[in-house]
Every structure is written in C-alpha cells, then in structure tokens.
Amino acid sequence: MSDHTPEREADTPLPPEDARTRSVYAAGAPEMAARHRALEAIWGTPPGIPQFSVVNHNIIGRRFIVTSLAFFVIGGLLAMLIRVQLASPDAAFMEPGLYAQVFTMHGTIMMFLFAIPLFEGIAIYFLPKLLGSRDLAFPRLSAFGYWCYLFGGLMLLGALAAGVAPDGGWFMYTPLSSLPWSPGINADVWLLGVTFVEISAVSAAVELLVTVLRVRAPGMSLDRMPIFAWYMLIVGGMMLIGFPPLILGSILLEVERAFDLPFFDPLRGGDPLLWQHLFWLFGHPEVYIIFLPAAGAISTILPVFAGRPLVGYRLIVAAIVAMAFLSFGLWVHHMYATGLPHLSLAFFSAASALVAVPTAVQIFAWLATLAHGRPRLSIPMLHIFGFFVVFVAGGLTGVMLAMVPFDLQAHDTHFVVAHLHYVLVGGFLFPMMAAGYYWLPHFCGRMPEGGLSRIAFWLIFGGFNGTFFMMHLTGLLGMPRRVAHYPDDAGWSMLNLLSSLGSFVMAIGIALVIADFILTMRFGKRTRPDPWQAGTLEWAVGRLPAPSYNFAALPAISVRADQIAPQNLGRALALGQGYLAKARNHWQETAGSDMITGAFEHIIILPRQSYAPFFSALAVGSFFLAMLFKVYWAIPLSVLAIVATFLAWPPTTAAERDRGLMPARQGLDLPLHPEVARPPTWWGMVFTLAADLTLFVSLLFGALFLWLAAPNWPPPGNAMPQMIWLALAAAGLVVAAIGGRVAVRQVPRIVAGLLICAAGYALALGATCMLMAGVPAPTAHAANAARFVVLAYGGFHAGVGLVFVAIGFVRRWQGVVSARRAGDLRIGQLWHDYTAVTGIVALGFVALFAVLAGGGAG
Amino acid sequence: MRRDHAPGFAPILVGFILWAVGFLALYAGHATGCELGWHMAPALGTNLLRLVLIGGAVGLLAALLATGWWMRRHPVQGFVIRLGYYALIAATLSAVVNFFAVFWLPLC
C-alpha cells in the first residue's frame, strides 16, 4: 500500500529528543517490517474485482471524500450556471424550467451529496485513528452506506442528465411538489434519491456513535477523548434524531404521489405545512450537523498551529451539547411567514437567538487558544482565518433573521441566500479546506508547499465575499430568490453582475486548490509521520500513508489524546509495544472499551472483506428504481433481494465455539466480543431503534398535526377499528416479545422460544392486515391515510421481526449460538421488545385517532 | 461478563432532555389550546391556555432547579458530573429565555 519504507522513515530528520527512539526504531526495523507484512495480509484488500468487497475504513473513507468532492465540482458548475443566468436582467441563457432544475440540483447536491458525505468520509477515515483503533465498529455498514450514497447520487445525476431533475427547490415544498403541480418524475427523483442517500447518513450515524462510545484505545476515558471525537459523537446523535423526520416526510409525500394517500392535500384533510414541519425538523439541525464536524476540525487543527492545547475543552463539550439540543428547537424559524401565533414564534425566535451563545463559546475558546499561544500562519490557518471572518458574519445575519419582524421583511429574498452561504461556506467549506491541507500528508505522505495554495485562498476569500456580500444588498432591495429573470429597472443589475464576477473568481480559486492538491499528491515533498508536530493519535500510525490496520499495536492512553507525542508513540506501537500486537488466526482485532472509563473490556473481531454490502445496496437500489419508474410488480422481488442479500452478510468470525479469555497483551486476558452481553452490534441496534423511534414519533406528531391544524376535518364516513383485531394484534406482539426472551434466556429452548415468537408475529400480522383492510378508503381523507400508515408501520416491524426469527433459526442450525454467544438473539430481542411497545402504542393511537377524527359516533 | 453502566451519560443529557420535553409540551400545548379554544375559557383571572402554559413553564423550571439541587446533594466528582452542571445551567437559562413570553404575549 505504501512505498514509504521503514528505512526511508529512519532517514528523515528527527528532533533531538527522539534520538534514543530512533536507534530503537532502526534496531527493530526487521521485526517491524515482519509485523507490517503480517497485519497487511489480514487487513489489506487486493486490487481488481475485490475492491468491490472493501470494508476497510481507510478505503471507504477515501471513497466518500473523493466522491463527495466530485459532487462538489458538479454542484459548483451548476452554481456558475446560476450566476451566468443572473448576471444580467432578463437573460436568455436558461428558460425558467431548466433554471429551476439547476438551482434545485445545486442545493440538493451541495447539502446531501457533498457536505454530509464529505464529513462522513473524514470521520470514517480519521475517527478510528484519533481513537487509537484499527477500524470502525461496523466496517460492512460503512461500505453499505458508501454504495447507497453513490447509487443514490448517480440516480440524481442521471435525472439531471436526462433533463428530469428535481425542480421544486432543495426543500421540495408541497403543494408545488405534489402530483397535480409536479406531474413528472422530477419530484420522485428527489424523494427517492435523497432517501436512498439518507440510508447512508443514518448508517453513518450509528457507526459513529458506537465507534466513539465503544471502540476506543484502552484507557481513553471520556475526558481523554480528542475533541474531534466529542464533536462526532454529538453529530452522530443529531443525525440519528434529525434525519428520520425527513425520511418520513419523503415517504409520506412519495406515498401521496404514488398511491394518492392525501397527507398534504388540504382538500382531503391534509396540510402542506406538515411537509414544512417534517422537512425543517431535519433541515435546521442539518445546518449544525454540517457545521459541528467542521468546528471539530478547527478545534483539532487550531491548537496545533497556536502551539498550545485547546482552551476550555470542557466548556466546548458543554457548548456542543447545548448546541445540539437547541438546534432542534429552531425549525419553525424557517416558517415565520406561515401565520403561526406570536407566542409560538417567540419560542422559536428565542431558541434561534440562544443558539448563538454556544457557538460564541467555541469562537472565544479558539480566540483564547490563539491569544495564549504563538500562532503560525500556515495554509490551514489561513483558511481558519477565512472561517472566522465569513462564519461570524453569517452568524450575525442569522441573529438578524432570527428576529421575526426582520425575517418577515427579508423572507425568500437573496438576503437569506447570502446568509445561508456565509454560514455554510464559512462554517463548512473554509474549515474543510483547512482540514484538507492539514490532513493531506496523511493521505499521500507529502507536504503542501504553500505558493499556489495562498493565491488560491485569497481568490476564494475575495471571490466568495464578492459574490455573496452583494446578495445581502440585492436581498434588502427586494430581489426574490429562485427567479430566473428580473427587470432591468429594479436597481439590481450592477450588484448581480458584480456577484457573478465574484463567483467566477471564487471558482478559479477552487480550481487552483484542486490543482494544488493534485500537484502535492504527485510532486510534493515527502514528509515524516508527524509533519505538523501535532498531539493527536492519527499521526502515530508510524508511516504515511497510513497502513490498512492503522496501528501495529494499540496504545494505552494515560493523558488527553490531543497531548501525546505521536512520533515516539508511533514507533513504539510499530515495534509492537501495545495491545493486540500479535497477528493471529487471520482475525481483524481491535479493542472494545467501556464507554465512560475507556477500560479495555473485550476484543472485537471485525469482519473481513465482503461483497454483501455492495449487493445489498444494489438490491435497495432496485427497490428505489422500481418505485421511481412505477414498476410496482417488481417491488416484492426487490424486497426479497434485500432480505436475501442481508441474510448473506457472513456471520461474525470466531463465533463457532466458546473460546473464553484470550490474551490481549502480556498478563491481560479478555473475552471476544461475541461472548459478551453487549457487544458493539447490540449498541448498534439500540441506536438504530432510537432512529426508528424518532420516525415513529414524527409519524404520530404528523397525524395529530393534521387532526389539529388541517382543513376539512372531520373525515366523512369514519369508522372505529374493531376491538377484537386490536386486541389480537396487541396480544400477538406481546407473545412475540415473550418468545424472544425465552430464546435468549434459555438457550437450550431456543427453538421453542423462536417458534413462540414466530407464532406471535403471525397472529399480529394477520390482525394488523384485518385492521388495515377495515380502514375506510385511505385515499379519501388524510385521517384514514394516517391510520393506514400507522398500522403499516406496525405491520412492517412485525414482518422484520419474523426475519430476525429466521436469523435465529439459521444461527441455531449453523451451531453458532450458545449461552455465551447469543448476540444475534439479543439483538432480535431488542427488536421484538421495541416492536411490542411501539406496536401497542400504534394500535392505541389508531383507536384514539378514530375517536378524535369523529369515528366514535360511527 | 460485566454489564455496561448505561446511565453514565445521564448527567450530561438530563438538563437539555428536560428542556426538550418542556419545549415540545409547551409548543404542542399551545397549538392544541388555540385550536380547542382554551384561550377563551376564563380561569383564575386569566384564561385556561395561559394558565396551562404558565404551569408548564414554571414546572419545567422547577424540574431543572430540582435536578440541580439533586446533583448538588450527590456531589460525585468527575468529568461527566462537571459537564452535567454546565449543561444543566445552560438548559435552565435557555428555558427562562425561551418561555418567559408565556406570561405576556398574545396567545393565539
């Protein structure tokens, strides 16, 4: 993988304090090389076709980054088309329909296909290294997420090439995106393509959470975690809660468009505002989901160039916790103009202003770090300077827009466009360029030189402000967003021309950055493993580019993990002085730790290369394509393919028999993860269910919102569900949960337990089908549609529960289940318990909703 | 086999979870009250909706203060607890700023 041989490393100049380590290193070179070869044989992936089976986080992370940058270039080219169109009044460059596709795709690509995947890629690549681990908790899930992202993105790009791209704005407001007003497949492309991509985001959220909490180096307690890990932990939690409302909204709108269930049709008890609520429940936290990883990069990079540790580590963690929660209390500030009561607006206006406080805490902590240190104005710092200027300006206009009276004046004008670009470019693009320059040596082992990169920075900085500062002015002069033409006498012409010129300057700067990166990777000067004299673990990998296994041995952490000496530690680890230093049994081993103390609790054996994630993503893609092209007969086949490919994910290695304690290093024996009560997969299911619960609660919220706020209620011809079916469905779910517990707690009776579980689900599914059949005409009114969908939610979970039962049987048949190795059953139990609780709530809700909708009299 | 100590994060999260629950309850309560006409039902010198909202806001504040009092009575040292204090203080101040308008703003 690397041609950066140990001999060459030994030749690089070292600081005087490393002289002793250097001699040890030179003496141990043959042993180190042998260890490298042994580990590379286990963790590496051969070239060619096996690249489709890659699960290693180094490669998956790089793929995410490169793919997202490709989408960034495409999104940027679309932005330039927009600026060409707006450079002069009444331009004939694009007709309004095409212009709508271009600005919709620009926003969609930048938000969903560039920003989120880029930080996911950075997190996937760097988190294990920063945490002193060899990989993420669920490598196959990362690979699956990548393929979903790629296929979903290609689906959107394919539509753009075919001239049927989404054209309703990146937030797809109804009724514009409803079938009568968007009869083509454009809106379907957005709803299905983005949902496909969001599978990747939710799987990344689960991955990040479990990795940060459970897959850290021994001794890395919470207060020793690198600050970037704190950011990603909180971002993972936000993604878990933030994305399900959007996924639900997309499902409901697609169901309305495809099957005429009228959730957003006011003539039949629906409400277009429901879409806005669901979208912005995701959409506003999304801004912080994008900003926080960038802030995490700043908190990592800035102390290195300030030459002192980050000031206010604990306060910053508290601030990002506050930010995470407050960001969920702002969604209505995108809806000030929808006629909500003053008091409601006050709640959201106050929260919108409040969120500036934890942001400011971070800004001041960074300034204090700079003030107490001796800053070096290197290339990454130049971009951080750009961040400070641009993001603070964007934050201040954000506080202006948080005030209801001002927002009502500036609503839907270019002022809002300017604000969001100052926040997103300032809060994400500049920090990411800083991160790009900072971490570039990690990817290629070569240093950026500086000349070209400084010119590029000033072009981007100047071009950006030239472009978007003008939009504040055109916005204040009343120029609305999303219009292809404007009149010559409006007084906006010169400002728009300047704005367009600025955008081309910025584009030249971006092109120079890309050229600079390519030139550095090709011709840059080779560097040693810690080029910036940083204090974090990613520079302790021993060689650059990092080997596929990251660390030849895992470190013991006894100080905060941004204050280590990577060179010394890296060499010690390369010499095998740490945990899990010996390659054995072709296992991919890493440490499983306590989430609070970081104590080494068990040895995690990670799955090796597998084609299953690729084929699972293809199967999921076939489902979305069948929906898009309305080939509904193929949907059951797609579902079967999805189930079959997921069942083909090979069982975790080393679970064929109980192995007891295994040596982790001299004098320390620990169990393997399949033999502990709560392995990473258990936590993965807990977080997956948390996302699922958010979707469920959003669904109930949506139904109650319609009951409360939508016109044309109550529905005509409502009817109460039959109590017998409600009772049988609830009983079936309880029986299934009991069966699941019997299977786990009395493994000798696993077959009996699984049979009980299956019988329970069969009963619940049958009764649910009867209830669904009893819902009067779901297409006639949103009340009926809501009841139908809530029941379908319960039925879907019962169906998946049956799949878990099948997995239990397969595991039993394979002989990989014992009292110690009951992980699959425990995961199944979580699902069964969740299905029972939410299913019973759903059944109760359906009955209650029928009463609320007026069915009590029926 | 050691069981995980799952509540370890509770001190960090409790303040803002209370804030979030209060936020949703007050927002949903306000929308429901307006729709059902509670603002037109007189109660204790004001109207039912304002009374409900004031009760909710004061209850939330009381819950946050009680949590702070409880945390002070169990002074376990450590990073998580200290972090929890910071987050609780932030949540309490946020609740005051967020909801003081229930006392005086027009309701529906």
SS (H, E, C) A737-782: HHHHHHHHHCHHHHHHHHHHHHHHHHHHHHHHHHHHHHCCCCCCCH
Half-sphere exposure of B50 (CA within 13 A, CB side): 18
Interchain contact B7–A (C-beta under 8 A): no
Is there a contact between A760 and A738 (Cβ–Cβ < 8 Å)?
Answer: yes
Could you say which of A328, A341, A347 has the minimum Cβ distance to residue B26?
A347
Is there a contact between A138 and A679 (Cβ–Cβ < 8 Å)?
Answer: no
Phi first, then psi, for residue A583 (nearest 5°) are -70, 130
Residue A343 and residue B35: Cβ atoms within 8 Å? no
Report the C-alpha gap between A210 and A231 in whole angstroms.
14
Interchain contact B12–A (C-beta under 8 A): yes
Could you say which of B27, B82, B87 has the minimum Cβ distance to residue A321?
B87
Interchain contact A321–B (C-beta under 8 A): yes
**Chain B residues lying within 8 Å of A223, measured CB to CB:** 79
Hey, is A446 helix, strand or coil? Answer: strand
CB atoms near residue A94 (< 10 Å): 18
Structure-block tokens of residue A533:
């004299």
Report the C-alpha gap between A562 and A384 in whole angstroms.
19
Structure-block tokens of residue A75:
């999104």
For residue A225, give the chain B residue with the closest CA: B79
CB atoms near residue A690 (< 10 Å): 17
| CA distances from residue A320 to A119, A233, A323, A326, A563 in whole angstroms, order as listed | 17, 10, 5, 10, 21
Residue B98 and residue A318: Cβ atoms within 8 Å? no
Phi first, then psi, for residue A87 (nearest 5°) are -65, -30
Residue B106 and residue A317: Cβ atoms within 8 Å? no
The residue behind tokens 């990069």 is A297
| CA distances from residue B61 to A360, B15, B19 in whole angstroms, order as listed | 25, 10, 9
Residue type, A456: A
Mode of pairing for the β-strands spanning A661-665 and A668-671:
antiparallel
Q: Which of B105, B86, B108 is nearest to B13 (CA)?
A: B86
Closest CA–CA distance from residue A250 to any residue of chain B (Å): 23
For residue B91, give the chain A residue with the closest CA: A322
Residue A317 and residue B83: Cβ atoms within 8 Å? yes
Structure-block tokens of residue A259:
């099957």
Mode of pairing for the β-strands spanning A661-665 and A600-606:
unpaired
Interchain contact A341–B (C-beta under 8 A): yes
Report the C-alpha gap between A855 and A193 in whole angstroms.
38
Predicted pLDDT of residue B76: 64
Interchain contact A344–B (C-beta under 8 A): yes
Phi first, then psi, for residue A263 (nearest 5°) are -70, -30
Residue B1 and residue A328: Cβ atoms within 8 Å? no
Report the C-alpha gap between A187 and A193 in whole angstroms.
10
Residue B20 and residue A325: Cβ atoms within 8 Å? yes
Question: Where do the DSSP E strands lie in A313-358?
Answer: none
Contacts of A216 (CB under 8 A, 6+ apart): A131, A132, A133, A225, A229, A557, A591, A593, A598
Peptide bond into A175 cis (omega under 30): yes
Structure-block tokens of residue A444:
């290629």
Residue B90 and residue A594: Cβ atoms within 8 Å? no
Structure-block tokens of residue A593:
């730790």
Is there a contact between A545 and A2 (Cβ–Cβ < 8 Å)?
Answer: yes
Mutation target among B38, B76, B83 for the A interface, most CBs of A within 10 A: B83
For residue A328, give the chain B residue with the closest CA: B20
Predicted pLDDT of residue A18: 44
**Chain B residues lying within 8 Å of A708, measured CB to CB:** 31-32, 35
Residue B97 and residue A354: Cβ atoms within 8 Å? yes
Is there a contact between A138 and A73 (Cβ–Cβ < 8 Å)?
Answer: no
| CA distances from residue A216 to A557, A680, A689 in whole angstroms, order as listed | 10, 12, 23
Report the C-alpha gap between A433 and A464 in whole angstroms.
14
For residue B102, give the chain A residue with the closest CA: A343
Is there a contact between A397 and A472 (Cβ–Cβ < 8 Å)?
Answer: yes
Residue type, A768: T
**Chain A residues lying within 8 Å of B23, measured CB to CB:** 329, 347, 351
For residue A601, give the chain B residue with the closest CA: B2
| CA distances from residue A449 to A438, A461, A488, A638, A856 in whole angstroms, order as listed | 12, 19, 47, 51, 75
Could you say which of B2, B20, B105 has the minimum Cβ distance to residue A343?
B105
Q: Which helix (H) or strand (E) holds A32?
A: helix A29-43
Is there a contact between A794 and A838 (Cβ–Cβ < 8 Å)?
Answer: yes
Q: Which of A97, A175, A211, A208 is nearest to A604 (CA)?
A: A211
Structure-block tokens of residue A128:
């294990």
Is there a contact between B70 and A308 (Cβ–Cβ < 8 Å)?
Answer: no
For residue A355, give the chain B residue with the closest CA: B94
**Chain A residues lying within 8 Å of B34, measured CB to CB:** 341
Predicted pLDDT of residue A665: 83
- For chain A, 858 residues long, the average pLDDT of each consecutive 10-residue run is 35 39 59 87 90 95 97 97 96 94 97 96 97 96 97 97 95 94 95 96 96 96 95 96 96 96 96 95 93 97 95 95 93 86 88 91 96 92 96 92 90 96 96 96 90 94 97 96 93 96 97 96 90 93 91 94 90 91 91 94 93 96 96 96 87 68 87 90 96 97 93 85 94 96 83 95 97 93 95 97 91 82 89 98 94 61
**Chain A residues lying within 8 Å of B87, measured CB to CB:** 318, 321-322
Report the C-alpha gap between B27 and B35 in whole angstroms.
12
Hey, is A538 helix, strand or coil? Answer: helix
**Chain A residues lying within 8 Å of B37, measured CB to CB:** none
CA Rg value for chain A = 28
Interchain contact B63–A (C-beta under 8 A): no
Structure-block tokens of residue A360:
């400011």
Interchain contact B34–A (C-beta under 8 A): yes
The residue behind tokens 């049979």 is A755
Residue A329 and residue B97: Cβ atoms within 8 Å? no
**Chain B residues lying within 8 Å of A353, measured CB to CB:** 97
Report the C-alpha gap between A499 and A156 in whole angstroms.
28
Interchain contact A594–B (C-beta under 8 A): yes
Question: Taking all residues of chain B, what is their mean pLDDT, rounded to a whole number?
Answer: 88
For residue A674, give the chain B residue with the closest CA: B1
Q: How far is CA A12 from the centre of its chain?
A: 39
Hey, is B46 helix, strand or coil? Answer: strand
Interchain contact B35–A (C-beta under 8 A): yes
Interchain contact A668–B (C-beta under 8 A): no
Mutation target among A325, A349, A357 for the B interface, most CBs of B within 10 A: A325
Q: Which of A669, A678, A679, A612 is nearest to A641 (CA)?
A: A612
Closest CA–CA distance from residue A69 to any residue of chain B (Å): 35
Closest CA–CA distance from residue B55 to any residue of chain A (Å): 15
Beta bridge partners of A94: none
Is there a contact between A504 and A519 (Cβ–Cβ < 8 Å)?
Answer: no
Interchain contact B87–A (C-beta under 8 A): yes
Mutation target among A234, A316, A340, A343 for the B interface, most CBs of B within 10 A: A343
Q: Which helix (H) or strand (E) holds A195?
A: helix A186-214
Hey, is A322 helix, strand or coil? Answer: helix
Q: Which of A432, A244, A405 is nearest to A336 (CA)?
A: A405
**Chain B residues lying within 8 Å of A314, measured CB to CB:** 79, 82-83, 86
Peptide bond into A714 cis (omega under 30): yes
**Chain B residues lying within 8 Å of A678, measured CB to CB:** 3-4
CA Rg value for chain B = 17
Closest CA–CA distance from residue A305 to any residue of chain B (Å): 27
Q: Which pTM value belongs to this model?
A: 0.93
For residue B18, give the chain A residue with the closest CA: A325
Residue A358 and residue B2: Cβ atoms within 8 Å? no
Question: Where do the DSSP E strands lie in A418-473?
Answer: 446-447
Is there a contact between A845 and A797 (Cβ–Cβ < 8 Å)?
Answer: no
Report the C-alpha gap between A672 and A846 in whole angstroms.
45
Is there a contact between B92 and B65 (Cβ–Cβ < 8 Å)?
Answer: yes
Interchain contact A210–B (C-beta under 8 A): no
Closest CA–CA distance from residue B21 to any residue of chain A (Å): 11
